[in-house]
A and B are shown apart, each in its own frame.
Chain A
Amino acid sequence: MTTAQLDWREPDNGDAVLAVRGACTMQHLPDLLTRIEALRRVPSMLDLSDLDALDSAGALVLLRLLDRPQHYRNATVRIAHARPEHQALIELVAERAGADPLPVQARSSWHNWMVQFGEATSGIAAHAWELAGFFGTVNHCFWSILTGRRKLRMTSVVHHMERTGLDAVPIVSLLCFLVGAVVAFLSATALRDFGASILTVEIVSVSFLREFGVLLSAILVAGRSGSAFTAEIGSMRSREEIDAIKALALDPIELLVIPRLVALLIMLPVLAFIAMLSGIIGGVLVGAMALDISPTMFLVRMQDTTELYYLWLGLLKAPVFAFLIACIGCLEGLKVSGSAESVGRHTTSSVVQSIFLVIVFDALFAVLYMKLDL
């Protein structure tokens, strides 16, 4: 079967009759379209007596050749000698394709941009409001558990402690070890000129105890576990499992959110402590290998100059960060609607928000500690 061929026929009455031969189907469409473009005038009639094959795409192209969509139905009479099955198909296509005028679509890009800007701005406000509301809901549920009106699901808590805490130990300690080594190197290079390489000890220990240990572990946990919370709860939501939980007269907050929150509240301080230790070990190692500060000297110097309460100042931030990460992760999961794309969008949003808020709160803590002269 060959691609459709187009030939002009000139009957006596002066009509411009175009004879279509061969196959007028989807797979021959590109060839047919180039041939149609090469036509120099618009046909008034089509002769389909030698047409071998026709499908709905071909029928549509033939109708477009004759008239505009609104007039397809009237155009069918200008098709001659079609086989009955072809005629039936053309009539069906003419009826369906011409039936509905095009729905009005998108406005100008400038207008769209303004609308998007406005929606995004009001979205941020609505979002902050929603987050505050969720904090309240979670705290209320937490209080009910503390006062014994609801149960804490211990099995679930332990499960999440393992997944978010224990499983994160290798990556957190490796990362902090490396950052500790880098901090030691950088400060040693800068301080060597003043002959004060020994201050490296304070820089590493203070920065890790007060800031880096807890901040790095919180950022890692936000990327690792916050995203997992959103994806887990989100896919449960898109498969109506959350609705099923509600329909069974259970509370998704109590069942899904609280165990994750409690697990993080316990494990993030532990992870932060491990992070501090690994960072300091990184510093010790660099000191011993590159700076002529022996491990003993490092430890003695650290004992002399670094206060113990720095550790508590650092660890105090961990539960706050844990609360932020768990709440944002779970809230974004609960906001998922329907599609797989929505799960992805909310997971991204959850990670971005929790890292952002962790850093904002870290800055607030820094200001607070400074005002308190700590």
Chain B
Amino acid sequence: MTKDGALPKGFERPTVSASPNDSSVQEKYEEVKSSSKTITLRISKFNPEKDLRTAFHAFTVPYQRWTTVLDAILEVKSHQDHSIGVRYSCRQATCGSCGMIINGKPRLACFTKISELDSDVVTVEPMNNFPLIRDLAVGFERMFSTHKRIKPYVIREDSETNPGTKEFLQSPEDVEKYIQFASCIKCGLCNSACPTMTTDSTFIGPQGLAQAYRYVADNRDQGKDERLRIIDEPHGIWRCHFAGSCSQVCPKGVDPAMGIQLLRGYLLGYRK
């Protein structure tokens, strides 16, 4: 931006010649809408407080090559059924709010394009292994409390904030050991895909265990023994049977199955 606040040459905003109500804009919108392809979006609807069973409501939705499943749900919510319960926020796979089962697999709705599903019918359901709030929204309380239980922070006796204490330096190699696990956005897709969590809701789950590994592998941390004690319990790390589904569904490239097996290496004494 220049000193007087104007944008540099070539970056000026185009002058808006038509208001949103202008008929040509509306015509253009209708033209785009009619030229796009359509899919049938089946949305699971269930309100635990008044419904007895889940019902799937089908809607016809136009889509373009770039339309995401979340865009389609919001299109239905805006124009066809305002009552749909859906949680979302950032729309860019960063907040981890819009996890749901899309055509049978846990995915982020904002990170899944309709065109990549290769199906004329897209079915969306709430994530498995979570308590249902309504329609597509599930409760994360249990996952967050498990996350807190594994102490997701660097434990030190000293502190960077103490006067005279140097900052905790790490080499790039030290960072590589845990950085992938720091990408977790707590969307819960891994817990939803886990076959152990289908029957054992007290299992810590891949999300919590991967986060335990993230801090155990961090060379600034001094809470390894404490964390290993927390996960070494009947519903802890030993209930993972390495089906690998958690790693398959993670939208951020975190590999919880790997983290869990590496954690076991610490517990079995193969890693220090």
Partners in one complex: no
Question: Residues of A with Cβ closer than 8 Å to B?
Answer: none
Question: Residues of B with Cβ closer than 8 Å to A?
Answer: none
